[in-house]
């Protein structure tokens, strides 16, 4: 993937198995969000292919990929501010999940429970603080009934207690068989959920494997962890 003269992803070969949980780390500007954009269909790789469950989806629109089971939670949540929390999740269940009427409402109610939002279901999204906005972003993603969720820095800005709740919620998602691809700078949170870590730097995958091994890889320490620690 390139933007003008800027090569943002280069020879990235990346596969996620059914039900797997993969963390993606790397310095700012490494290309992590761009990779999620390619996987979700927001941008088309040039050249390159994206497959989902054995089907080439490179030319499939993001909304169609969502209906197929590719869910996404964005780094900067943008809910429908004038709608309530419940209405936002019903929209996701209906348009992203393809459910109608009572079934969409039932899915939305279940997801609100799962994400700890049931008590504020009738609040307008525009009135929410950061924690609840992040939870709503996750809820909207889950309401689409995904087979894989692409999560972009949903832990950023949360307190330790809030992050612990988030870890529990994401573990629960995983236990239901949904695969997880999670970009996160807060590595100690990430490794509580994932069993594989991919480190990117300047558009390339520089390490890919069990978290304990990736975190002590000299190349990863030099490109990412060393800089993060200083
Ligand atoms: N639409 C775009 N047009 C031009 N350049 C872009 C575009 N999107 C991303 N970039 C550039 O691509 C590079 C990778 O950006 P990307 O957001 O994928 O990095 P990242 O690893 O997710 O970073 P961060 O950890 O800061 O979120 C950056 O140099 C960014 O400025």
Structural domains of the chain ordered from first start: 2-69+146-229 (3.40.50.300), 79-145 (no CATH)
Full-model pTM: 0.93
Nearest to 75 by CA among 196, 182, 177, 211: 182
Is there a contact between 137 and 77 (Cβ–Cβ < 8 Å)? yes
Vertex 192 angle, CA 146 and 187, to 5°: 100
The atom of ligand 1 lying closest to the CA of 34 is 18
Which residues does a 6 A CB cutoff place in the pocket of ligand 1? Answer: 3, 6, 8, 26, 28-34
Dihedral sign, Cα of residue 212, residue 72, residue 163, residue 143: negative
pLDDT the model gives residue 230: 41
> 87-144 pLDDT, tens per residue?
999 999 999 999 999 999 999 999 999 898 999 999 999 999 988 999 999 999 999 9
> 149-174 pLDDT, tens per residue?
999 998 888 888 888 888 888 998 99
pLDDT the model gives residue 133: 93
Best probe residue, ligand 1, of 2, 4, 6 (max atoms within 8 Å of C-beta): 6
Residue 155: strand, helix, or coil: coil
- CB atoms under 10 Å from CB of 103, counted, come to 13
Q: What is the mean pLDDT of residues 176-199?
A: 94
Is the interface score ipTM higher than 0.85? yes
């Amino acid at each position: 993937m390139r933007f003008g003269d800027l090569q943002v992803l280069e020879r990235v070969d990346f596969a996620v198995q059914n039900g797997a949980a993969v963390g993606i780390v790397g310095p700012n500007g490494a290309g992590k969000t761009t990779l999620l954009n390619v996987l979700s269909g927001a941008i088309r790789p040039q050249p390159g292919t994206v497959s989902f469950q054995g089907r080439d989806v490179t030319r499939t629109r993001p909304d169609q990929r969502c209906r197929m089971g590719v869910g996404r939670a964005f780094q900067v949540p943008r809910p429908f501010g004038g709608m309530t929390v419940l209405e936002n999740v019903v929209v996701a269940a209906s348009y992203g999940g393809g459910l109608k009427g009572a079934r969409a409402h039932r899915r939305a109610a279940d997801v609100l429970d799962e994400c700890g939002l049931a008590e504020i279901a009738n609040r307008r999204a525009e009135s929410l603080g950061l924690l609840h906005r992040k939870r709503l972003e996750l809820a909207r993603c889950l309401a689409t009934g995904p087979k894989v969720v692409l999560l972009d820095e949903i832990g950023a800005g949360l307190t330790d207690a809030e992050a612990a709740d988030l870890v529990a919620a994401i573990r629960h998602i995983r236990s239901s068989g949904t695969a997880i691809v999670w970009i996160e700078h807060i590595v100690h949170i990430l490794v509580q959920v994932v069993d594989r870590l991919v480190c990117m730097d300047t558009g390339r995958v520089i390490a890919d494997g069990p978290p304990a091994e990736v975190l002590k890889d000299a190349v990863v320490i030099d490109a990412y962890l060393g800089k993060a620690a200083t």
